[in-house]
Structure 1
Amino acid sequence: MEARRIAGIVLFLVVALLLALLVLADEETGRDDVSPFLDPLFYIKASAVITGAVALLLLFLGNKLKEAQKTALFWLITAPVVISSLFLAGNTIYENAISETGGPIHWHADYQVWVCGQRLDLIDPKFPSNKIGTPLFHEHNDDRIHVEGTVQHIEDVNLGRYFATIGGLLEEGRLRYVAADAEIEVKDGDACPDSSVGTLQVYVNGKRTEGYADYQYYPHPLVPPGDCVIIEFDATASDTTDRICESWAASEWSYGSFKRPAVTIGEHTWQ
């Protein structure tokens, strides 16, 4: 009876942990069209849970188990580990083969968000996480867009997708940003505290850009030469901005004189 009770408790814990992993995996994908069952990390974590559960059973019931039962538990450990490892290897090869970038990338772009003359600071990550967003697409409390991993389609990591990933919104004439002190949402025609009527503008390397939600920043791991993106809601509606990212200023880069090589990936070209 004692053995059955222990086995029942372990089985309950395994089911609970697997369900928790499924929920967490669904949240970490950051996309509604990606199933957690296609994430190899889910299977690795699941195999770890199963292995731990079997180890507990062997610890508490090892002396009471028959040889056939021990053999079955051995394969219960081996099979998930082998299957998850093979799935990880196959998935990695497949994703790299179909990726528009030809494999993993590490791109960065710096940005600032200004609303009615006030610079907004994104919420800080909550321990134990060190990022806001997903493993592929995130911010590390540094006002920097990080793209780190294999990207199937370059448009999956454009400026609008970034804001959606961090819990905000960027679309034509509308901005929502989860700042450290409050969630801020503005749209064209809203009034600032000084009663001036604001419009949303996005500047890339000093120049106003149209279709900014679909904008794809320069593909480079360093900033500069990575882009400096200024998002501003106010009444100025200027074609240029004097605001500049700290990384550009520290490197003594200026909007009027910077030079960098052209890059082409698939149908996308950057200058």
Structure 2
Amino acid sequence: MLDNKTALIIGIFLLLLFSIAYAHEAEEETHEESTINAHSLVSSSFKYMIIASVISLLFIIISLYIREKSEKVKWILFLAIIIPVIASTAYLAYSTVYLNLVSETQGPVHWHADYEVWVCDEKAELVKPKGISNRIGSPLFHDHGDSRIHVEGVVADTRNVDLHSFFQTVGGDLDADILEIPKENEVVKVKNGDLCNGEEAKLQAFVYKVINADNAKSWIFEQEKIGNFPKYILSPYSNVPPGDCIIIEFGPESEKTGHICATYEAAMQRGELVGS
């Protein structure tokens, strides 16, 4: 017959094994939906680390509770404490290496682009972040309330960091004919054909792009009208400039924009940037 203490140990151990199995099953379902999902792989790594820590902590408590332990029980407790830690650490290392190998960026990146949104010639600014994270969006793709697009981390597929994805990540939307942007007290929603000052308006986007990024502080930029702007992916630079300045406008159709990001304007005033 098992004594109460042994039964307690076995019961807790089986309960924890069930928790791990359930978590793993849920993770497999996620990967069936997306074979290369950076966010789910990273989140699962941290989830397993937490589970492992809880398991190890519980067995440490159990080991303190059992005053007289045989050599066999000591070994069981030691393995129950150390195996989850080793396994979760190995999984974290594997997921990090795997993501770096399969991602399009071959590892973590730190890209930035400044942007402005103008609706009927009025600037529409994204709602400011609240809380300790100080961001709107995801850890990979976000805005810190600085009118700057941040891509920070491993990008498994660059199609996941286009303009459409950015606006969805921050709680809005951007398609060829629809714009939604959450502001402090409202969500601005416009679509092609709506009126601006009595005129039919259209959604369009422009980019100021540096064409000689390697010539630091002697940059030359070009302004381009972006055709399929929801699918536009920002240039892979950390600083702005040479990172992009993206202008999204809802107004009368035009081939050029008169708006420009403050960082580009400041660089021009310093003599570090000129138009082509």
Q: Specify if TM > 0.5.
A: yes
| TM tier, smaller | 0.7 to 0.9
Cα RMSD, aligned residues only: 3.6
Shift of 1:199: 1.1
For the residue of structure 2 that corresponds to 1:218, the secondary structure is: coil
Matched with 1:198 is 201
> Cα–Cα, structure 1 residues 3 and 94, in superposed 2: closer, same or farther, change >3 Å?
same
Code of the residue aligned with 1:51 in structure 2: it is S
Task: Spell out, residue by residue over 1:138-157, the C-alpha distance to the aligned partner (whole angstroms, 9 max, x if none).
Answer: 11111111111111222221
Given the two structures, how large is their TM-score scaled by the length of structure 1? 0.75
> Does structure 1 residue 48 correspond to structure 2 residue 53?
yes
> Does structure 1 residue 240 correspond to structure 2 residue 240?
no
For the residue of structure 1 that corresponds to 2:200, the secondary structure is: coil
Code of the residue aligned with 1:198 in structure 2: it is A
Code of the residue aligned with 1:210 in structure 2: it is G
After superposition, residues 49-198 of structure 1 pair within 5 angstroms as 49-57=54-62, 61=65, 63=67, 71-192=75-196, 194-198=197-201
User: Is there any run of 5+ residues in structure 2 with no aligned partner, and where?
Assistant: 209-222
For the residue of structure 2 that corresponds to 1:127, the secondary structure is: coil
Which segment drifts farther, 117-126 or 170-179? 117-126
> Cα–Cα, structure 1 residues 115 and 81, in superposed 2: closer, same or farther, change >3 Å?
same
Shift of 1:252: 1.7
Code of the residue aligned with 2:253 in structure 1: it is A
Q: Is the 8 A contact 2:5 2:66 kept in 1?
A: no
Shift of 1:47: 2.2
Which segment drifts farther, 114-123 or 168-177? 114-123
Q: Is the 8 A contact 2:110 2:238 kept in 1?
A: yes
Shift of 1:215: 0.8
Shift of 1:207: 3.0
Q: Is the 8 A contact 1:36 1:42 kept in 2?
A: no
Code of the residue aligned with 1:175 in structure 2: it is L
User: Is there any run of 5+ residues in structure 1 with no aligned partner, and where?
Assistant: 260-271
> Cα–Cα, structure 1 residues 147 and 63, in superposed 2: closer, same or farther, change >3 Å?
same
Q: Is the 8 A contact 2:268 2:274 kept in 1?
A: no
Matched with 1:263 is none
> Cα–Cα, structure 1 residues 258 and 215, in superposed 2: closer, same or farther, change >3 Å?
same
Find the aligned partners of 1:35 and 1:136 in 2 and give their Cα distance.
10
For the residue of structure 2 that corresponds to 1:109, the secondary structure is: strand
Matched with 1:265 is none
Find the aligned partners of 2:179 and 2:150 in 1 and give their Cα distance.
20
For the residue of structure 1 that corresponds to 2:94, the secondary structure is: helix
> Cα–Cα, structure 1 residues 66 and 246, in superposed 2: closer, same or farther, change >3 Å?
farther
> Cα–Cα, structure 1 residues 36 and 199, in superposed 2: closer, same or farther, change >3 Å?
closer
For the residue of structure 2 that corresponds to 1:113, the secondary structure is: strand
> Cα–Cα, structure 1 residues 69 and 178, in superposed 2: closer, same or farther, change >3 Å?
farther
Matched with 2:41 is 38
Code of the residue aligned with 1:88 in structure 2: it is L
Q: Is the 8 A contact 1:207 1:241 kept in 2?
A: no
Find the aligned partners of 1:137 and 1:36 in 2 and give their Cα distance.
11
Given the two structures, how large is their TM-score scaled by the length of structure 2? 0.74
Find the aligned partners of 2:5 and 2:133 in 1 and give their Cα distance.
38
Shift of 1:227: 0.3
Matched with 2:229 is 212
Shift of 1:204: 0.7
Report which of the two structures shows the higher radius of gyration computed on alpha carbons.
Answer: 2
> Does structure 1 residue 228 correspond to structure 2 residue 221?
no
